[in-house]
Amino acid sequence: MLRAALYMRVSTVDQHPENQAHELRTFAKQRGYEIVREYVDHGVSGVKIRRPNLDRLLNDARRSPFEVVVWSCDRLARSTKHFLEVLDELNSLGIQFVSQREAIDTEGPLGRAIVVITSAIAELERSLIIERGRAGMRRAKLEGRRIGRAPLDVDRNAVVRDRLAGMSLTNVAKKYGLSRASVVRFVHEARNLGAVNASKPVDQRACA
């Protein structure tokens, strides 16, 4: 029975690596793998080269080789350069890399070539998405359109006066259709700009 390690990665803390783990455990069982360990990088972007559990996986593989199984190639790396570096190290250790979603592995030159092509296409797609976003922002600027949230159309002085007059933070926010954080920010900004009469003591609770 071949020994295998599962590697999972999710980009944000609200994502669940267990979704990948469940599929990989089933996949490993179907292929007759003995799962020796599972590695999870939680809340880590695929563009980062240094990842705690990926590094740990590579260190463990150097001491006791095993097959590396992932849900998809982009879980291992989003950069083709980084992806190739990891594949080269695994290859030098005689370790096979298997991606479930793409149904490919690095056994033999054809499998390796397919993995590299898949990674390159994924990186190209990501680059195109970023460039389209930048092009949209440039076009918006040229057309004079605002980028980002529109400024709040509210009488900031009135907000500050009501808050300093003793109105609760919640009531001020409701009255002007603001968030509590915005009310606090307006009061802080007014104080910093000297808009609040320095001769009048300011209730510190108004800024909390």
Residues 163/172, Cβ–Cβ less than 8 Å:
yes
Strand partners, 2: 33
Q: How many CB atoms lie within 10 A of CB 101?
A: 15
- Which of 11, 72, 79, 182 is labelled catalytic? 11
d(CA 157, CA 163): 10
Give me 199's structure tokens. Answer: 């001769």
Helices (H), the chain: 18-30, 52-63, 73-76, 80-92, 109-142, 156-164, 169-176, 180-192
Catalytic, 127? Answer no
Residue 87 CA, distance from chain mean position: 23
Catalytic residues: 11
